[in-house]
Amino acid sequence: MDYSREALDEQATGDDPMHFFMKWFSEAESAQITEVNAMTLATVDADHRPHARIVLLKGADERGFSFFTNYDSAKGTHIAADPFVALLFFWKELERQVRIDGRIEKLPAAESDEYFYSRPVGSRLGAWASPQSREIPGREVLEQNYERYQKEFGENVPRPPHWGGYLVVPQRIEFWQGRSSRMHDRISFSRNEDGSWKRCRLAP
């Protein structure tokens, strides 16, 4: 595969990488890419070993990038031990990659509530039924848990205390645009001490 769709120059990215991320994100949405918000989340465990999995981006604003999960999951345990994480998007139809490194924190409970109560009842029950990342003897455990919580809560399924959002506060954001002959464009932003951003170009 030789990439040839378009170029990315420094000026085009502007001074604010969050702003530019939103632009690329809406272009990916307009390009009808399925699961455009699917991103790889990398964490490290207490022994410094890396782990990666897909999660869904549910918010991006001037603070950073948010997603929702089980705080008691493997990723939640890693994050509690080491708050440095990486996110990765690959939008192959646009020949684009976005790499994000940063520090992660829990979203305020009110924001987790707001998102949780927007989810379908079935997914809310799923959050109770699944002890995420734990070994279970068989699928029937999930089904039994699901039925049990369905009986207990009916249509009013509260947010489990172990389920909520995280916010990744970016320290570095890199925009990668594929170019011909592997001579890709890479524009990288690093956060300065005062919160402003330093922009540079990296060799591909």
Ligand X SMILES: Cc1ncc(COP(=O)(O)O)c(C=O)c1O
Ligand Y SMILES: Cc1cc2nc3c(=O)[nH]c(=O)nc-3n(C[C@H](O)[C@H](O)[C@H](O)COP(=O)(O)O)c2cc1C
Q: Which residues bind to ligand Y, rule: CB under 6 A?
A: 35, 38, 51, 53-56, 67-70, 73-75, 132-133
Burial class (CB in 10 A: 0-12, 13-18, 19+), 85: buried
Between 122 and 204, CB nearer to ligand Y: 122
Q: Which does 119 bind (CB under 5 to 8 A by kind): ligand Y, ligand X, none?
A: ligand X
Contacting residue, 4, 26, 30, 123, with ligand X by CB under 6 A: 123
Q: Which does 123 bind (CB under 5 to 8 A by kind): ligand Y, ligand X, none?
A: ligand X
> Does 119 contact ligand X by CB under 6 A?
yes
The number of helix segments (H) and strand segments (E) in the chain equals 6, 9
Annotated binding residues for substrate, as ranges? 58, 115, 119, 123, 182-184
> Does 189 contact ligand X by CB under 6 A?
no
Helices (H), 82-138: 109-116, 121-129
The closest alpha carbon to 61, from 141, 170, 160, belongs to 170
> Does 65 contact ligand X by CB under 6 A?
no
Helices (H), the chain: 10-13, 17-30, 74-81, 109-116, 121-129, 139-153
Contact residues for ligand X (CB under 6 A)? 56, 68-69, 119, 123
